[in-house]
Amino acid sequence: MSKTLNLYRNGFYAMATRFFVLIPELEDGSGDELFQKIKDEVNRIESRLSRFIKESEISKINREAFKADVETDDECFEILSACKYGWKMTDGAFDITLRPLMDYWKNEDNQPDETLQAVKESVGMQHVELDEENQTVGFKNENTELDLGGFGKGYALEKIKQMIESSAIKDAFISFGESSVLAMGEHPAGGAWKIGINDYTNPGNSIHEFEVSNGSVSTSSNFFLNDEGVLQNHTHIINPKTGKPHENFTAASVSARSPILAEILSTACLLLSDEKIRELMEKYDDIEIIKVDYEPEKPEVSEFKSIGE
């Protein structure tokens, strides 16, 4: 007689997307208890990092950091330090200060080129001063604004990963929509979790499949499928060097042990050259990157892989 496999499933809406939890071999009672802890942690992080929440730490910094340095706690200072490190590591391709440029391109009609130049000069982590001794944040430019966006999802998955590692649970699959995924342990059928990356020109089919155990996959793109099934630019991926939206239809997916690292690199790799991506790969073990160019008639896939010793 075969044994029925218990699969605990649950989800809720957070960080502008659907959050989903799947944990094999977990009874509903224990699952509900863990799920509530995870949900509370995700909501806590969102309440601190979302620029849309007036009382959040990031909103406070955006309002006050140009007028006077803002004192932060350990968590927020470490998050901003990680973001600044990511900005330096990727030559500015990962940048949490690009919101003014995103807003500009949403309302660019009838705006002179001089306005774009002024907005461009207000972005960049060089305008964000982090004082480690006093644990304060200050802005050098009055128009600087922080938007942690996808980084918040990576950070939330990092904290959840720590929660699971400190529990008795060995296997779990957790996702923010299709863009940010955490896979722990093994799939119920055995072996690593298989995470397929959607082929946008052939919906329902994967253009690549990652095998992940105790790691994360993050995917970024600059387009969406409209109602006619045609790719359309989202204009939310900005090239900091030009100040303009990235025009080529590109998607990048990164598999890494750290959800934060996966999130930083997936955003940056949309803009980085293959040479720079290979340079970054030399700094980290166990990273796999897939970059897909949808401009040609047939999607062109570039694969970069770093295997640890």
Task: Determine the pLDDT at residue 273.
Answer: 93
Q: What's CA 201's distance to the chain center, in Å? A: 23
Q: What is the pLDDT of residue 235?
A: 73
- Computed over every residue of the chain, the mean pLDDT equals 91
pLDDT surpassing 70 at residue 3: no
pLDDT tens profile 105-115: 887 665 667 78
Phi-psi region of 16 (alpha: psi -120 to 50; beta: other; left: phi over 0): left
Q: What pLDDT sits at residue 1?
A: 35
> Cα 91 vs. chain centroid, distance in angstroms?
17
pLDDT of residue 234: 77
Q: Place 6 in a pLDDT band, splitting at 50, 70 and 90.
A: confident
8 Å CB contact between 170 and 163: no
Give pLDDT, residue 307.
62
What pLDDT, on a 0 to 100 scale, did the predictor assign at position 285? Answer: 84
Q: Is residue 223 very low, low, confident or very high in pLDDT (cuts 50, 70, 90)?
A: confident
- Which of 5-19, 126-140, 196-210, 239-253 has the highest average model confidence (pLDDT)? 126-140
- pLDDT value for 27: 81
What digits encode the pLDDT tens for the residues 72-118?
Answer: 999 999 999 999 999 999 999 999 999 999 988 887 665 667 788 88
Give the per-residue pLDDT at 145.
95
Residue 259 has pLDDT above 60, yes or no: yes
Say what the pLDDT of residue 45 is. 97
Q: Bigger pLDDT: 234 or 102?
A: 102
Q: Answer yes or no: is pLDDT of 2 > 50.
A: no
Residue 265 has pLDDT above 80, yes or no: yes
Q: Give the span between the Cα atoms of 181 and 195, in whole angstroms.
A: 8
- pLDDT tens readout for residues 47-70: 999 999 999 999 999 999 999 999
Backbone angles phi, psi at 249, to 5 degrees: -75, 105
Q: What are phi and psi of 116, to 5 degrees?
A: -60, -45
Enumerate the β-bridge partners of residue 301: 292
Tens of pLDDT, residue by residue over 165-195, are 998 899 999 999 889 999 999 999 999 999 9
Whole-number pLDDT of residue 201 = 87
CATH numbers and ranges of domains, the chain: 1-50+152-185 (no CATH), 57-147 (1.10.3980.10)
Q: State residue 309's pLDDT score.
A: 43
Gyration radius (Cα) of the chain, Å = 20
The residue-averaged pLDDT of 283-287 equals 88
Let me know: does 181 contact 217? Beta carbons within 8 Å.
yes
In the numeric block, which tokens belong to residue 286? Answer: 């166990």
Percentage of the chain exceeding pLDDT 70: 96
d(CA 298, CA 309): 35
